[in-house]
Structure 1
Amino acid sequence: MKLEIPRLEAPISGPEAIAQVLKEQAATPLAFAPWGKPDTIHDVNFKIAHNDAYIFLHYTVREDEILARYSRHNEPVYTDSCVEFFIIFDGEENYYNFEFNSLGTCLSANGPDREKRASQSVEQLSKIKTQTKIQRLNGQESPRFEWQLSIQLPIELFGNSQLSKLSGKNARANFYKCGDDLSKPHFLSWNNIETPQPDFHQPPYFGEVVFL
């Protein structure tokens, strides 16, 4: 799959403005469940843009259960209700993973594979700005929630890539939703993954992205 990431001309003052600025952009669904259809329905999509200095991401998630235990960066947020963004820039060996629970807590590292990874420092991750909105959709009936996460990701966190700007850059990436410790675990992706066991650390299955 291929995704073109538009460059924004209008300024964004912070994560609270991302959803409004991206309002007219079409949402991209996480349509694949590589390791079996989840027992409950998860409706997940994202929007993405950049302004050379930042990547702007906005996730919208609808699901029956929310788990949000971790509030300190680099804790295992993938066991909570979690959305993720993995990317590797063309010509590079190391890819970056950014994983966020519904509180905006981030786990991030970079390296060539799952095992050989260097964690981003808490100081670095504190430069990421996020805003979360959570609402209950169906009153007192069976639980159904929507949560939205807006993310302002500075390019300085791609330190090994030495980026001066994003325009014109080609990369490969994937976008995910998971919840390892939910009562009904699930794994969703933008680009399909063909491995026997759940594993998001699969650069060969990343899709093509182009920063316009």
Structure 2
Amino acid sequence: MRSLTIPYLSAGSDLSSADYLSALLQPLSMQEVGEQPWPSYAYKPDVKFSIAHTDEHILLAFKVREAEVRYVNTMPNSAVWEDSCVEFFISFDDSGYYNFEFNCIGTVLVGFGKDRNDRKLLPETLVKRVECFSFMNEAKGDNKWQLLVKIPVTVFMYHPVFKLDGKKCKANFYKCGDKLQQPHFLAWNNIETAEPDFHQPAFFGDIEFEAKVS
């Protein structure tokens, strides 16, 4: 079981700037989304992420290098998993987990529930609070893209009053592309199921949000 401590960052008021957000996350070590739970899907793109938190946000940076990019879905809560997609699933307690899914142009899907069959999509008004900044360098057979993500704690509608400081949670990070020419399903923490299924909270890793130093 993988574990990760998420550093606290003292951020200024300019989190709406992609340049500032990139500079804030740049010094952080990156983790690999490198587990390949289902070997029949042999293609393995290069995927890394870094994560941090502030008083009011979870911040993510994904860096991806893959042979093909697809970005068909443009509406909130649309089928982004069919595109070049990265995902972040997080559980604060036994009530369920949130699935945040992003395609390479920053289209966002967010749901909540206890398992694959118990999902409720969050209202678009909340989903639109999740800000993404996308950067792509497309080249035949060798595409590089980066996604910066800012998730405000106000998005966690089923957990309206809580602080990230010192909080211990469960989470996993993924890369997929269901409708790419080479479909693939990668995870940060390994999953032991017969068929591809990211909705497996039993296989989430341990994460802890670093407490703010007074």
TM-score with structure 2 setting the length: 0.93
Residue of structure 2 in register with 1:194 after alignment: 192
Residue of structure 1 in register with 2:179 after alignment: 181
CA contact (8 A) 1:18 1:58 kept: no
Name the CA shift for 1:78/1:175 in 2 (closer, same or farther; >3 Å). Answer: same
Cα distance in 2 between the residues matched to 1:134 and 1:149: 9
Q: Residue 22 of structure 1: CA displacement? A: 1.2
CA contact (8 A) 2:64 2:146 kept: yes
CA contact (8 A) 2:105 2:134 kept: yes
Cα distance in 2 between the residues matched to 1:147 and 1:38: 22
Q: Secondary structure at the match of 2:149?
A: strand
CA contact (8 A) 1:72 1:105 kept: yes
RMSD: 1.4
CA contact (8 A) 2:135 2:147 kept: yes
What are the Cα deviations for residues 87-111 of structure 1, in whole angstroms up to 9, with x where unaligned? Answer: 001x332100000001111111101
Select between 179-188 and 108-117 the one with higher mean Cα deviation.
108-117
Q: Residue 168 of structure 1: CA displacement? A: 1.1
Q: Residue 116 of structure 1: CA displacement? A: 1.2
Q: Secondary structure at the match of 2:182?
A: coil
What are the Cα deviations for residues 169-203 of structure 1, in whole angstroms up to 9, with x where unaligned? Answer: 11000000000000110000000000000000000
Partner amino acid for 2:108? C
CA contact (8 A) 1:59 1:150 kept: yes
Does residue 111 of the first structure (1) align with residue 113 of the second (2)?
yes
Residue of structure 1 in register with 2:70 after alignment: 67
Residue of structure 2 in register with 1:9 after alignment: 10
CA contact (8 A) 1:100 1:107 kept: yes
Residue of structure 2 in register with 1:153 after alignment: 151
What are the Cα deviations for residues 106-158 of structure 1, in whole angstroms up to 9, with x where unaligned? Answer: 11110111111111111111111110000136xxxx52010000000011111
Name the CA shift for 1:60/1:208 in 2 (closer, same or farther; >3 Å). Answer: same
Does residue 97 of the first structure (1) align with residue 95 of the second (2)?
no
Cα distance in 2 between the residues matched to 1:38 and 1:59: 21
Q: Identity over aligned residues, as a percent? A: 40
Q: Secondary structure at the match of 2:55?
A: coil
Partner amino acid for 1:82? C
Residue of structure 2 in register with 1:50 after alignment: 53
Cα distance in 2 between the residues matched to 1:104 and 1:158: 19
Residue of structure 1 in register with 2:131 after alignment: 129
Q: Residue 159 of structure 1: CA displacement? A: 1.4
Q: Residue 13 of structure 1: CA displacement? A: 2.2
Unaligned runs of 5+ in 1: none
Partner amino acid for 2:117? E
CA contact (8 A) 1:15 1:129 kept: no
Name the CA shift for 1:127/1:19 in 2 (closer, same or farther; >3 Å). Answer: same
- Give the total of aligned pairs: 207
CA contact (8 A) 1:15 1:130 kept: no
CA contact (8 A) 1:7 1:50 kept: yes
Aligned pairs for 1:75-86 (under 5 A) are 75-86=78-89
Residue of structure 1 in register with 2:91 after alignment: 88
What are the Cα deviations for residues 65-107 of structure 1, in whole angstroms up to 9, with x where unaligned? Answer: 0000011011110000000000001x33210000000111111
